[in-house]
Amino acid sequence: MVTRLKDQPTVVVLGGAGGMGKMAARIVSSYQDLGQLIIADMDLPAAKALVAELTPSAATNLRAVHMDVTDGPALRELLGQADVLLNTTGPFYKLGTVVLEAAISARCHYIDICDDWEPTIELLNYSEKAKAAGVLAIIGLGASPGVSNLLARVACERLDQVDDLYTAWPIDAGSGDFSLDLESDLGADPSAAIVHWAQQISGSIDVIENGLKVSRPPQVPVTLNYPGLGSGTAYTVGHPEPITLHERMNVQNHSANLMVLQRTTAAYVDQVRKEVDADRLSASAAARALSKPRIGRYLRATFAGLTMKSAGKLPGFFAYAKGQRGGLQMRIGVHVKSMPSGMGAMTSTPLALGLRQLLNEGIQITGVHPPESVININPFFDEFTRACQTPLTGKDELLIVHEAVDS
């Protein structure tokens, strides 16, 4: 049964004056079928400034409100006025369940960009509560996770049985016009995204081995024979994709999320990981080390990188599946020809398109779900191409699929 949103619904962007929220608000403000868009943020002057900036070209009414997400009654009151919440407020390991609980209590549909694997597990545990309230919550609808999950689904749908499944995103290697450059994109001051990255390259992470979730150290090299392009090595990192994909795609053997890096960068990140694990660097100090490498550590990494395995010709942003089809052992690679420009646009565009799907298609399922379970791939990618750096005509031009049969 499909439940349509009411005509001219109200949407809240939580953290709407921040880096990701601001970009999502810019996209959503152009949607003519909204009644009101509320920019909610701790920084009320910044939220008001964004409303003033967007109002002349907006297709909907805009309002700025102050919101401290730790103020439960105020948050529930705000969400009681809304039909859909776009949550960009982090860190999700602290605030993810707080905000989702408030949305469920207010019977407000919910979409977020959670990219932490540990809170992903916690958020999924709210599925029955969301169903009981008639709420749909889509978690992890950014670039990775998000677009990466959908690429994985495209790959897995070409197989009868999925044995291995990997998703990957670029740091400073891989083909495509969307690699993340450490010097220009990350800047001198570590952002929340870099602090998050520092946490996910240290300690232990959950991956899938022999079909079971296990804890392993990150930065483990994984060499893939990518169909049509050849062999290359990427490195494991803590992320939600293997947590959700192994169940929904019924992965039999191995699954992990990977970083595509140059050899020197891989060695540098590994040095930072070892220092964090030895308690010589805190997470914030590691983030500073990642965003602004010191010359001594970088020189050591340059020599260590000579022994690291290369990314080869791996794409920058891809999904790779290995399994069975028609009695044959197959390898499937799916990567994108282009992406929106910059980390903010890569992350906020999928979030906005998740809302676009709810507006167009209504609520077809309730509960808490990852993107691969609820997103309608064809219209999503057709719309996504319009935000890419390289002008494209639709999904069929955006997605590059390679297949190979193993003898």
Q: What ranges do the domains of the chain cover? A: 10-142+344-389, 147-336
**Is the model's pLDDT at 148 over the cut of 70?**
yes
Closest Cα partner for 347 from 376, 387, 315, 379?
Answer: 387
Q: Which H helix or E strand runs over 75?
A: helix 72-79
At residue 190, the pLDDT reads 55
Note the helical H segments in 106-240.
117-124, 127-133, 147-156, 192-200
Dmax (CA) of the chain: 63
Domains 10-142+344-389 and 147-336 share a fold: no
CATH of domain 147-336: 3.30.360
Tokens of 351: 């979030």
325: how many CB neighbours lie within 10 A of its CB? 14
- Predicted confidence (pLDDT) per residue in 95-113, tens digit: 999 999 999 999 999 999 9
pLDDT at 359: 96
Per-residue pLDDT averaged across 282-301, rounded? 84
Q: What tens digit of pLDDT does each residue of 382-391 get?
A: 999 999 988 8
DSSP 206-224: EEEETTEEEEE-S--EEEE
* Contact by Cβ (8 Å): 15, 87: yes
User: What's the rounded Cα separation, in Å, for the pair 358 and 374?
Assistant: 10
Q: Where are the beta strands (DSSP E) in 248-317?
A: 254-260
Alpha carbon distance 251, 121 (integer Å): 17
pLDDT in tens, 360-394: 999 999 999 999 999 999 999 999 999 998 888 88
* Average pLDDT of the residues in 123-150: 97
175 — pLDDT class (breaks 50, 70, 90): low
Q: How much is the pTM? A: 0.94
Q: 100-135 as b/e, with b when 16 or more CB fall inside 10 Å? A: bbbbbbbebbbbbbbbbbbbbeebbebeebbbebeb
For residues 106 and 189, give the distance between their C-alpha atoms in angstroms, rounded to a whole number. Answer: 37
> Is the Cβ–Cβ distance between 211 and 252 less than 8 Å?
yes
Nearest to 320 by CA among 140, 141, 207, 151: 151
Helix axes 192-200, 283-291, angle to 10 degrees: 110
Section 51-74 average pLDDT: 95
Question: By the 8 A CB rule, do 66 and 59 touch?
Answer: no
For residue 188, pLDDT over 50 is answered with: no
CATH class entry, domain 10-142+344-389: alpha beta
The pLDDT assigned to 187 comes to: 42
The pLDDT, as a whole number, for residue 173 is: 72
CA 261: distance to chain centroid? 18
Q: Average pLDDT, stretch 239-266?
A: 95
